[in-house]
Amino acid sequence: MGGLALRSRIYIMLAGFGGLLMGVWLMIVVTPRHAPADLNWPVVSVAKKVGPSVVVVINNQKIGGRLQMKGMGSGVILNRNGDIVTNYHVVQGADALTVVLADGHRFRARIVGVDPPTDLAVIQIRAHDLVPITIARSSQVQPGQLVVAIGNSLGLTHTVTVGVISASDRVLYRDGWQYHLIQTDAAINPGNSGGPLVNAQGQLIGINSSKISQSGIEGIGFAIPSDTVQMVSTQLIRYGHVRRPWLGVRLQALPHRALGMLVVAVAAHSPAAQAGLKAGDLLTAIDGRPVRRLRDVVAVLEHEAVGQRVELKVLRGNAVLTMTVQLQELPQRDQKSFVS
């Protein structure tokens, strides 16, 4: 009996040990062999991919007859020709610009062109082996999408912050301009300006531009959409400025948002003048879109190109007129409005 009991205990111990080995084997098979960061957190690979395309932009100004650093921002390499996009406010007033690459090499930069209305600028350096960023269409971004911001936050180079798209098309108005911006809760601080906002694939979807800095407010930053960046940077490289369509009228809203805006003045030799528009006319529609306020006109013109035609519906006295206007380039002396 004693031998039987001993053998039973041995069998039980062997069975338990076998179960333990089976459990360990199952854990090895089921547990991923890759680090969780590799599987679930793409930010590490995004930062490595995008990092070489991000530069420091130093604004140097003459103070007391000597060049001194006035400010610092970020920039993004667009192509192998050395074109770099940044914010206009990063380079504004500079007497000399210095660009520092991710590998630490420093270059003098020249301004190719600036566009204050969109707060964008293109500068250029003479360098080799540059790594241009890949650009995605900002029109396809969605609220809740993971985004990464990289820039020289507070002078700390290549700072990486993470967030989501809070709103894909936030419309803000300033100085008569209409801005379509991406809103994000990724931390954006002084020095981030001009740096990239990228998606989980490391593709540019925006250029970080500003944040709301008020006590008690956190996580509200804005980036210029990549579709705007591409349009503006292409024209700055090609023409040195952005060619915007010009109608050539001054408009005044009517009380209670009545249908139409009053034509207060028509610029001589402007597209509107050539089409026959006169002061005192009531502009009721543009390209089939009803006009109640200036934003309605701007919303149409900002998507048109120089040389294209738009149709105006006009009320003159009791007569309803239809006019076709061929848009000209907005004169550089007056970059305050698409309309005037």
| Residue-averaged pLDDT of the chain | 85
Q: CA-CA distance, 305 to 286, in Å (whole number)? A: 15
pTM of the model: 0.77
The SS3 call for residue 193 is: coil
Query: pLDDT 10s per residue in the chain (340 long)?
Result: 555 555 555 555 555 555 555 554 555 555 555 444 455 678 999 999 999 999 999 999 998 889 999 999 999 999 999 999 999 999 999 999 999 999 999 999 999 999 998 999 999 999 989 999 999 999 999 999 999 999 998 778 889 999 999 999 888 766 556 678 999 999 888 888 999 999 999 999 999 987 544 444 556 889 999 999 999 999 999 999 999 899 999 999 888 767 899 999 999 999 999 999 999 999 999 999 999 988 889 888 878 889 999 999 999 999 999 999 999 998 876 554 545 4
Give the residue numbers marked as catalytic.
89, 119, 193
CA 60 to chain centre: 25
User: Can you list the positions of beta strands (E) in 89-228?
Assistant: 96-100, 106-115, 120-124, 146-153, 156-174, 177-184, 196-198, 204-211, 221-225
178 Cβ contact list (under 8 Å, min separation 6): 171, 172, 295, 298, 299, 302
> What pLDDT digit, counting tens, does each position of 100-157 carry?
999 999 999 999 999 998 999 999 999 989 999 999 999 999 999 999 999 998 778 8
Residue 116 shares a structural domain with residue 154 = no
- What residue type is 178 in one-letter code? Q
Residue 104 shares a structural domain with residue 151 = no
**Closest among 260, 324, 317, 262 to 287, alpha carbons compared:** 324
Residue 279 shares a structural domain with residue 307 = yes
Q: CA-CA distance, 113 to 293, in Å (whole number)? A: 32
- How high is the pLDDT of residue 215? 46
Q: CA-CA distance, 161 to 233, in Å (whole number)? A: 25
199 Cβ contact list (under 8 Å, min separation 6): 136, 141, 145, 146, 147, 148, 205
From 124, 154, 173, give the residue that closes a domain.
124
Task: Provide the CATH number for the domain around residue 111.
Answer: 2.40.10.10
Whether the CB-CB separation of 213 and 205 falls below 8 Å is answered with no
Residue 119 shares a structural domain with residue 142 = no
Q: Which domain holds residue 69?
A: 48-124
Q: CA-CA distance, 266 to 251, in Å (whole number)? A: 9
Residue 103 shares a structural domain with residue 154 = no
The count of domains in the chain is 3
19 falls within a domain: no
336 falls within a domain: no
Q: CA-CA distance, 80 to 84, in Å (whole number)? A: 10
From 239, 268, 293, give the residue that closes a domain.
239
From 74, 92, 124, give the residue that closes a domain.
124
233 falls within a domain: yes
